[in-house]
Amino acid sequence: MTQMIEARAGRVTVQMQKVAEKEKKELELIRAGVAGGTVVVPANKNHLNLEPCGIGSGLKTKVNANIGTSPAFPDIDKELVKLTAALSAGADAVMDLSTGGDLDQLRRRILAVSPAAVGTVPVYQAAVEARERHGSIIGMTADELFAVIEKQAGDGVDFITVHCGVTMAVLDRLRQQSRITGIVSRGGAFLAGWMLHHGRENPLYEQYDRLLDMARRYDVTLSLGDGLRPGCLADATDRAQIQELIILGEMIERARAQGVQAMVEGPGHVPLNQVIANVQMQKSLCRDAPFYVLGPLVTDVAPGYDHITSAVGGALAAAAGADFLCYVTPSEHLGLPGPDDVREGVMAARVAAHAADIAKGVPGAWEWDREMAAARKALDWERQISLAIDPEKARRFRAERNPQGTEECTMCGEFCAMKLIGKYLGKEMATCF
Amino acid sequence: MTQMIEARAGRVTVQMQKVAEKEKKELELIRAGVAGGTVVVPANKNHLNLEPCGIGSGLKTKVNANIGTSPAFPDIDKELVKLTAALSAGADAVMDLSTGGDLDQLRRRILAVSPAAVGTVPVYQAAVEARERHGSIIGMTADELFAVIEKQAGDGVDFITVHCGVTMAVLDRLRQQSRITGIVSRGGAFLAGWMLHHGRENPLYEQYDRLLDMARRYDVTLSLGDGLRPGCLADATDRAQIQELIILGEMIERARAQGVQAMVEGPGHVPLNQVIANVQMQKSLCRDAPFYVLGPLVTDVAPGYDHITSAVGGALAAAAGADFLCYVTPSEHLGLPGPDDVREGVMAARVAAHAADIAKGVPGAWEWDREMAAARKALDWERQISLAIDPEKARRFRAERNPQGTEECTMCGEFCAMKLIGKYLGKEMATCF
């Protein structure tokens, strides 16, 4: 029984209760959202220490942090440090994208300690193992790919990225056009390479019912990957990308028909003036399935600042209806992130998510800012710091920049506008000045 | 003769020529923009080493960096280090907002070395001197304020913030409502306190013609300050703010009638879903005068990350038509920024400005991203680094995160999608994959 099947039967699960409490929403709203597929609660039956969160329409925008080894950095302990950094920074979910070292061990250790939902991209492990076993990713068999999915589902992975929409028809669309950066999704590239080499359809599409069956047994939420996502602004919102999105809309309906929870992944590199259209298109084509975007990055030229390019696009996307932001770190396009990058990436995405939640009227979002404004007016520094999205950083900056510990901050000092207005105008005008 | 008077007489100045070259625009477009007041070229006759830039409709979005001492940090040399940081990071203009130490000396040293336009807020110096001379800001006389303006104009300041719209009528509007953070503009607070204490109209409003006369003599561009800008999301877009904007629209028309260049300053703390309305309102009420926004910050709760909250709001504002972004540093709301904060602040604002320039179709913006995309596809790291908005940071990150110097980055390593697609599919598909 998945959360969706339970919800459709009119039953409220413990997981839905926890989501309702966290979101301060009526239980019935959560149940109805899960039943209709506009909300997912990634919660694998085998992820025992999970504190579930809901993702989707009407809920707070959530943030995912990608961690995981690479061939150059296979050290498990370093990834566990990054896991701690992501969770302490407030990530709602983490994805283990490892491709180096002992993949099974790291995934299991992450699941053992993470109360946040854990996602993976099983085709990564399948590709790594195919290389070891057959000498090439091309050597991977469909059964081997499904065996990895089954193993990861059995371990307790809450959601998996599956690039079911990278079909022969979509690759044909891609052939009818040009792109600068081609396919930049790793999973999409593995599958497209495999398909074109063998001249065979994508097994995740061809055997989608087999995938749905596995997902249903463990209640793994499918995150339908966008293998054709644009890798640069010039490739954004092209025919190949939207063709894949159409296919993903069909996959969403088939997942819902089987009681399998599913969301849709989205771009990527998108110019600011196309971000809203991308969200509206997904919501329409995919029948309001939760939308999980990577960024979007609103320019290609800012390596070192891609947490910022993504915060811009993410805020705009989430305000327009995107539900789940995959963080991007300052290290994007330059190398595997370290723990500080992870922290900065999560914080930037949380800023974007919260700014969007205010804009879309998520209950509670506005109140947080009101409290901060009142604390600022009162020059109540302890309250400002405790209300800050990153209290530790706020405290450190304040201490470093105000060694004398004066009441005002050191930008204006005795010329503090808030203080002056109070001094000159007295209390009777305090409500307006 | 101001740039505007020259332009109206059909003459193209050296400054307009340089702007046209930088913007890759027809000379006539720049001249017509300056003549009509939709473009300003801040260029004080006494700022001898100025490399002028244009601000306004159809031009690249520009970035300003605020520097300057405070009572707690009066050291001139530290501010000159921050000036260098701002200029090397690519700021188009700097404002000296000093309120501590030797104000005249610092301003003159900044003007002597800055090829970028330099702005000030003369009421700061007038307030500091009034405190020294009369024991209180309240003791300032209108003549003293104008004497400071004249001195700063004579020194070569290219643009000055003047809060001409903080009028008795606007303060009456403010009394008819409530606000959480009241007046947060320092200049606005000085003037409002002075006005209410003395029961007298704002001298910058009452003697606006005197101000216009001074501005015209030196060709100082007026930056009409928003003394009523909101200091928190809850105060945004309220009646007091818009009342002031209406007055500023009138001031713009009077400046234009006298051949004085003028732009309008805007908020501040604004929820994401009100940013576009704020820009459209300014453009309409102020007859398409250049719009200079501070942020906007799209949430109040992120001290330590306000360069990011501002990049989100600034990108959206500039895409909607704002012309000039005042940076906000990570230190905002916590203390006076240091050189690293200045660098991060300028870069975040430049990211926002460029993302907006792509969205609004500024010539050349799109091409930069296309070149980066091609360099990425080619795994040409030297080219990627040289095209990066911050080549030094990109180079450092790449070196730190890829000690072995492999061709791929260390995030994907041998599983690099761009490389795999090339390997599996061969060159004949290179244009689409």
Residue A431 clears pLDDT 70, i.e. is over it: no
Residue A430 clears pLDDT 60, i.e. is over it: no
Is A333 an interface residue toward B (CB < 8 Å)? Answer: yes
Regarding whether B377 and B276 lie in a shared domain, the answer is no
Q: Do A305 and B335 touch (CB under 8 A)?
A: no
Query: What is the overall mean pLDDT for chain A?
Result: 95
Is A306 an interface residue toward B (CB < 8 Å)? Answer: no
Q: What number is the average pLDDT over the span A47-72? A: 97
Q: Is residue B16 part of a domain?
A: no
Give the mutation candidate from A239, A273, A275, A300 for the B interface (greatest B CB count, under 10 A). A300
Residue A240 clears pLDDT 90, i.e. is over it: yes
Nearest to A379 by CA among B155, B334, B389: B334
Q: What number is the average pLDDT over the span B320-346? A: 97
Q: Is residue A186 part of a domain?
A: yes
Q: Do A304 and B406 touch (CB under 8 A)?
A: no
Tens of pLDDT, residue by residue over B251-277, are: 999 999 999 999 999 999 999 999 999
Q: Do A232 and B181 touch (CB under 8 A)?
A: no
Position B339 confidence tier, pLDDT thresholds 50, 70, 90: very high
**Number of domains forming the structure of chain B:** 2
Regarding whether B373 and B351 lie in a shared domain, the answer is no
Regarding whether A370 and A311 lie in a shared domain, the answer is no
Tens of pLDDT, residue by residue over A323-370, are: 999 999 999 999 999 999 999 999 999 999 999 999 999 999 999 999
Which are the contacts of A90, defined by CB distance < 8 A and separation ≥ 6?
A63, A346, A347, A350, A389
Residue A429 clears pLDDT 70, i.e. is over it: no
pTM score, whole prediction: 0.96
Percent of chain A with pLDDT over 90: 92
How close, in Å, is residue A12 to chain B by CA atoms? 34
Residue A288 has φ and ψ, to the nearest 5°, of 60, 25
Contact A3, A13 (CB under 8 A): yes
Alpha-carbon separation of residue B259 from A65, A286, B38, B250, B262 (angstroms): 54, 56, 13, 14, 9
Residue A24 clears pLDDT 90, i.e. is over it: yes
Cα–Cα distance measured from residue A230 to residue A188, given in angstroms and rounded to the nearest whole number: 12
Question: What element of type H or E holds B86?
Answer: helix B76-88
How close, in Å, is residue B346 to chain A by CA atoms? 12
Helices (H) and strands (E) in chain A, counts: 19, 10
CATH number at residue A337: 3.20.20.540
Which residue type, as a one-letter code, is found at position A21? Answer: E
Sign of CA dihedral A23, A29, A33, A38: negative
Q: Do A354 and B301 touch (CB under 8 A)?
A: yes
Tens of pLDDT, residue by residue over A150-187, are: 999 999 999 999 999 999 999 999 999 999 999 999 99
Residue B406 clears pLDDT 90, i.e. is over it: no
| Whole-complex ipTM | 0.96
Regarding whether B371 and B285 lie in a shared domain, the answer is no
Regarding whether B175 and B192 lie in a shared domain, the answer is yes
Sign of CA dihedral A409, A414, A416, A422: positive
Alpha-carbon separation of residue A318 from A353, A427, B390 (angstroms): 7, 40, 28
Q: A96 contacts in B (CB within 8 Å)?
A: none
Q: Is residue A217 part of a domain?
A: yes
Regarding whether A119 and A45 lie in a shared domain, the answer is yes
- pLDDT of res. A412: 81
Regarding whether A342 and A209 lie in a shared domain, the answer is yes
Regarding whether B321 and B413 lie in a shared domain, the answer is no
Residue A136 has φ and ψ, to the nearest 5°, of -165, 150
Cα–Cα distance measured from residue B383 to residue A30, given in angstroms and rounded to the nearest whole number: 50
Choose among B189, B235, B366: nearest Cβ to A421: B189
User: Where is the domain boundary, B360, B394, B411?
Assistant: B360
Is B410 an interface residue toward A (CB < 8 Å)? Answer: yes
- Number of A–B residue contacts, CB under 8 Å: 395
Residue B306 clears pLDDT 50, i.e. is over it: yes
Which DSSP category does A269 fall into?
B
Alpha helices in A321-416 (DSSP H): 339-359, 365-377, 381-387, 391-401
Nearest to B17 by CA among B53, B59, B69, B62: B53
Residue A325 has φ and ψ, to the nearest 5°, of -105, 125
- pLDDT of res. B413: 81
Q: Is residue B380 part of a domain?
A: yes
Tens of pLDDT, residue by residue over B172-181, are: 999 999 999 9
Q: Is residue A146 part of a domain?
A: yes
Regarding whether B202 and B126 lie in a shared domain, the answer is yes
Regarding whether A94 and A229 lie in a shared domain, the answer is yes
Q: What number is the average pLDDT over the span A308-320? A: 98
Which DSSP category does A159 fall into?
E
Position B425 confidence tier, pLDDT thresholds 50, 70, 90: low
Report residue B272 as tokens. Answer: 């994401």
Q: What number is the average pLDDT over the span A260-280? A: 98
- pLDDT of res. A424: 62
Interface of A with B in 245-284 (CB under 8 A): 271-273
- pLDDT of res. A425: 60
Question: What element of type H or E holds B257?
Answer: helix B239-257
Residue A17 clears pLDDT 60, i.e. is over it: yes
- pLDDT of res. B428: 44
The chain B residue lying nearest A377, using CA atoms, is: B181
Q: What number is the average pLDDT over the span B358-365? A: 96
Position A421 confidence tier, pLDDT thresholds 50, 70, 90: confident
Q: What number is the average pLDDT over the span A394-421? A: 84
- pLDDT of res. B408: 82
More confident residue, B179 or A409: B179
Q: What is the dihedral of CA B212, B214, B220, B225, to 10 degrees?
A: -50
User: Where is the domain boundary, B360, B394, B422?
Assistant: B360
User: Where is the domain boundary, A311, A342, A360?
Assistant: A360
Query: What is the overall mean pLDDT for chain B?
Result: 95
How close, in Å, is residue B44 to chain A by CA atoms? 27
Regarding whether A404 and A386 lie in a shared domain, the answer is yes
Q: B179 contacts in A (CB within 8 Å)?
A: 431-433
Residue B429 clears pLDDT 90, i.e. is over it: no
Which are the contacts of B71, defined by CB distance < 8 A and separation ≥ 6?
A413, A414, A415, B99, B100
Cα–Cα distance measured from residue A43 to residue A52, given in angstroms and rounded to the nearest whole number: 6
Q: Is residue A325 part of a domain?
A: yes
User: Where does residue A10 rank: exposed (0-12), middle (13-18), buried (19+ CB within 10 A)?
Assistant: exposed
Residue B432 clears pLDDT 50, i.e. is over it: no
Regarding whether B195 and B48 lie in a shared domain, the answer is yes
C-alpha A265, offset from chain centre: 9
Tens of pLDDT, residue by residue over B228-246, are: 999 999 999 999 999 999 9
Position A49 confidence tier, pLDDT thresholds 50, 70, 90: very high
Q: Is residue B33 part of a domain?
A: no
Tens of pLDDT, residue by residue over A199-209, are: 999 999 999 99
Nearest to B64 by CA among B55, B75, B73, B51: B55
Give the residue numbers spanning the domain of B286: 41-360
Tens of pLDDT, residue by residue over B120-159, are: 999 999 999 999 999 999 999 999 999 999 999 999 999 9
Sign of CA dihedral A47, A52, A57, A60: negative
Instruction: Give the strand pairing for A117-120 and A324-326.
Output: unpaired
Q: Is residue B32 part of a domain?
A: no
Cα–Cα distance measured from residue A261 to residue A159, given in angstroms and rounded to the nearest whole number: 9
Cα–Cα distance measured from residue B313 to residue B48, given in angstroms and rounded to the nearest whole number: 34
The chain B residue lying nearest A411, using CA atoms, is: B336
Helices (H) and strands (E) in chain B, counts: 19, 10
Contact B276, B261 (CB under 8 A): no
Tokens 């006298």 correspond to what residue?
A: B258
Residue A146 clears pLDDT 90, i.e. is over it: yes
